[in-house]
Amino acid sequence: MEAIVRDQGQLAPDQAAAVVKLATKSNLLFGGTADFLVARELASLATYEQKLSLLRCLFALSSVDNSISLAEESELHRIANELRIDRADLVALRLAHQQHLPGRSTP
């Protein structure tokens, strides 16, 4: 996960390690409620490119096992909506990961 966060988030290795550690601990302690609050705060503070970078990272992490479940896809859409990601950018990310989406396969 650290490598994906580092590459997709364009972070230094120590920053990527800290992000993964914080996300893991936060999820264990607070669950989905904290995730929603963090997404809402990020939406108000981050640039559009930072938000898009985060969503790109989340798609990459979700597809690391070569499959994005319906629940994961739903959560990705919810986060995209909360971050106010343009539909065209979301479609581009979905197309980039289409082989991992439920019910999809590459030709």
pLDDT band at 35 (very low <50, low <70, confident <90, very high): low
Q: What is the pLDDT of residue 94?
A: 92
Give the mean model confidence (pLDDT) for residues 63-91. Answer: 91
- Model confidence pLDDT, tens digit, residues 56-76: 988 988 888 888 999 889 989
User: Are 87 and 66 in contact, with CB atoms under 8 Å apart?
Assistant: no
Whether this prediction's pTM lies above 0.75 is answered by no
pLDDT band at 107 (very low <50, low <70, confident <90, very high): very low
User: What angle is formed at CA 41 by the lines to CA 20 and CA 11, rounded to 5 degrees?
Assistant: 35
